[in-house]
Structure 1
Amino acid sequence: MATVAISGGTGLIGKALTGLLRQRGHRVVVLTRKPPRGITAFGSSDADLTYALWNVRKGEFPSAILSETDYIVHLAGANVAKGRWTKRRKQEIVRSRTVSGALIVEALRAGPCRVKGVISASATGWYGPDTGGKPFKESDPPADDFLGGTCTAWEDAISPVTTLGKRLVILRTGIVLSREGGALPAFLSSLRLGVAAILGDGKQVISWIHIADLCRLYVQAIEDPGMTGVYNAVAPAPVSNKTLVLALAERLRGRFYVPVHVPSWILRLGMGEMSVEVLKSCTADVSKAKATGFQFAYPTVGAAVADLLKDAR
């Protein structure tokens, strides 16, 4: 059994990952600024789920956990899809990832600790839009846009852990499909009214992943000492926006829905700069992750939708 500290552990992925780690017998320490009422504080018991206080803005890290922590999972970061990308919001998106990463690095550098490795989130926003060539591999350069720059700074902030002798794994994650939040509820909101809202022409390719597979990949990154470096964390069968929306519509509504294309100009009016991302194609290659022996439980969008919406009708 390992002890795993998770930054961003109260978010969508963090909660799901915490549950899976505990199922597998690991102990989880959630780094949080505002612990829930009645929580078990780190060091107060042998519980398999405890909480430790940190404050990124004040540069405060609970260094006491490092002598008992085997791995750190770094998920912290402001929600990219929440709100318009104003100058202030963009700064918050970047700083929430880079400052928290730097804080982890400094805590590890200060030591002492028994941490063996760090598994950090990143995103397929690293890559530029598809140009009709091969799917993006981990060695491809970052895009010359906001998300490309954000992901570069994000990964750069945590990468110094390798100079401290720690194994580093970075998972560039695509669109995460989950009943509990993320992109799926946004897709379903119009479908519940019988409208299948296809964004733009619907041809843009989405590299997606079922949250269960994403959490299993994080667990493998923790447990497999052979995993190191960057991996694309996406399902092996990317689909177009139209294909995904219609798959959801057919599962949720049967034949009782109306497909409606939302014009690009309306998306740009309502979402501003963020509309570029929802209209952009990104096909990420997952062969590196598969080469580790990882097997997807939900390799196709049909399998994922069937699971996620099995109780929806």
Structure 2
Amino acid sequence: MATVLITGGTGTVGTRLTELLMHKGYSVIIVGRGGNQKRVVDTTGNANTYLRYAKWNIAAQTIDEWAIREADFIVHLAGAGVADQRWSDARKKEIADSRIHSGNLLVKALKEIPNQVKAVISSSAIGWYGPDPLNNSGFSEEAPAFTDFLGTTCKAWEESIAPVQEMDKRLVILRTGIVLSNAGGALVEFKKPLITRTAAILGNGKQMISWIHIDDLCYQFIYAIENTALQGVYNAVAPFPVNNKTLTLTLAKKCCGSFYLPIYVPAFVLKIVLGEMSIEVLKSATVSSQKIVNAGFVFQYPTIEKALDNLIKSGTK
């Protein structure tokens, strides 16, 4: 079976994607700052399936050559967490540089190191798009990048990896929405107030959230690996976005039954607590998944009800 090299493979998405790839028989190489050639036999018992670790240094623009030589596909997830810290100027630079410079390194490596890489599947984000215009039925992939911090970062991120196409390698870019997972990210934050049976609606709650279940996202990466017809940019979002109030109250009902108290967290409070990041929390962004649906991808969790039912039941994804 083929070997998939994953950058950012130790994060929430990378960890789940690694599990799913190995269960399908792929070997995986995770690239990070402290890699080595440790081998781990897949829990499925497939002795030909391995998880290995390679090392790179983004600042020095170096990477273990063996990892590039052995990879059949590259999944590029690397990047500092957008919501992990308040957005100081230094943090914003780190968010942008971690994406752009890692993309530059992969391009450099693929140019200089003999390899058999057939396709690069790169993550991007729906931060590419700005706030919803009036009567927005869903941003399509052809919409231009917005001119704010995330819009310009996503544009530079995608441009950094684009030169792989000049090497006759298939490039697929997945603009990822808000990922729902029990292992980290937005859902964990949404759940926190429910410990006290409080459903915290952000701002007026009307802002649209274009979300995706982590398994649908990971299977979309696998779909991009396995389907040679896929090329270019696709929105990785579920077909039915919901507003913040709907998501919050749906989650509250599933976690607490009827015993919870809805409260609205005013926009000015979010601005004080989150600073510039509050713009994204309060932004309404309706993003369309029609292109990937037309390409034949079938969502396991197309609605927020199905997604939350699965995540609350499983408790581990």
For 1:122-181, what per-residue CA distance to the aligned partner results, in whole angstroms no more than 9, with x for missing partners? Answer: 000000100123310000001110000110010000001001111000000000000100
Distance 1:80 1:220 in 2: 26
For residue 66 of structure 1, report the CA deviation from its aligned partner: 2.3
Q: 2:138 aligns with which of 125, 135, 139?
A: 135
1:165-204 pair list within 5 angstroms? 165-204=168-207
Distance 2:272 2:34 in 1: 36
In structure 1, what is the equivalent of residue 27 of structure 2?
Answer: 27
Q: 2:213 aligns with which of 210, 214, 236?
A: 210
In structure 2, what is the equivalent of residue 159 of structure 1?
Answer: 162
In structure 2, what is the equivalent of residue 40 of structure 1?
Answer: 39
Tell me, what secondary structure is at the counterpart of 1:34? coil
The alignment's C-alpha RMSD in Å is: 1.4
2:4 counterpart of 1:4: yes
The structure-2 alpha-carbon separation of the partners of 1:231 and 1:311, relative to structure 1 and needing over 3 Å to count, comes to: closer
In structure 2, what is the equivalent of residue 300 of structure 1?
Answer: 303
In structure 2, what is the equivalent of residue 14 of structure 1?
Answer: 14
Q: Which residue identity does 1:81 align to in structure 2? A: A
**Contact kept in structure 1, 2:61 and 2:105, CA below 8 Å:** yes
The count of residues paired between Structure 1 and Structure 2 equals: 308
Runs of 4+, deviation exceeding 3 Å: none
Distance 1:82 1:19 in 2: 24
In structure 2, what is the equivalent of residue 97 of structure 1?
Answer: 99
Tell me, what secondary structure is at the counterpart of 1:281? coil
Structure 1, unpaired ranges of 5+: none
In structure 2, what is the equivalent of residue 87 of structure 1?
Answer: 89
Tell me, what secondary structure is at the counterpart of 1:115? coil
Structure 2, unpaired ranges of 5+: 41-46
For residue 46 of structure 1, report the CA deviation from its aligned partner: 5.6
Distance 1:32 1:274 in 2: 27
For residue 32 of structure 1, report the CA deviation from its aligned partner: 1.2
For residue 111 of structure 1, report the CA deviation from its aligned partner: 2.6
Q: Which residue identity does 2:255 align to in structure 1? A: L
TM-score, structure 1 as length reference: 0.96
TM-score, structure 2 as length reference: 0.95
In structure 1, what is the equivalent of residue 44 of structure 2?
Answer: none
For 1:36-68, what per-residue CA distance to the aligned partner results, in whole angstroms no more than 9, with x for missing partners? Answer: 9x9439xxx965111111111221111222222
**Contact kept in structure 1, 2:39 and 2:50, CA below 8 Å:** no
Q: Which residue identity does 2:4 align to in structure 1? A: V
In structure 2, what is the equivalent of residue 72 of structure 1?
Answer: 74
Tell me, what secondary structure is at the counterpart of 1:278? helix
Distance 1:214 1:47 in 2: 22
2:259 counterpart of 1:256: yes
In structure 1, what is the equivalent of residue 119 of structure 2?
Answer: 117
For residue 262 of structure 1, report the CA deviation from its aligned partner: 0.2
Identity fraction in percent: 52
In structure 2, what is the equivalent of residue 52 of structure 1?
Answer: 54
Distance 1:287 1:94 in 2: 28
Distance 1:283 1:134 in 2: 7
Distance 1:66 1:224 in 2: 21
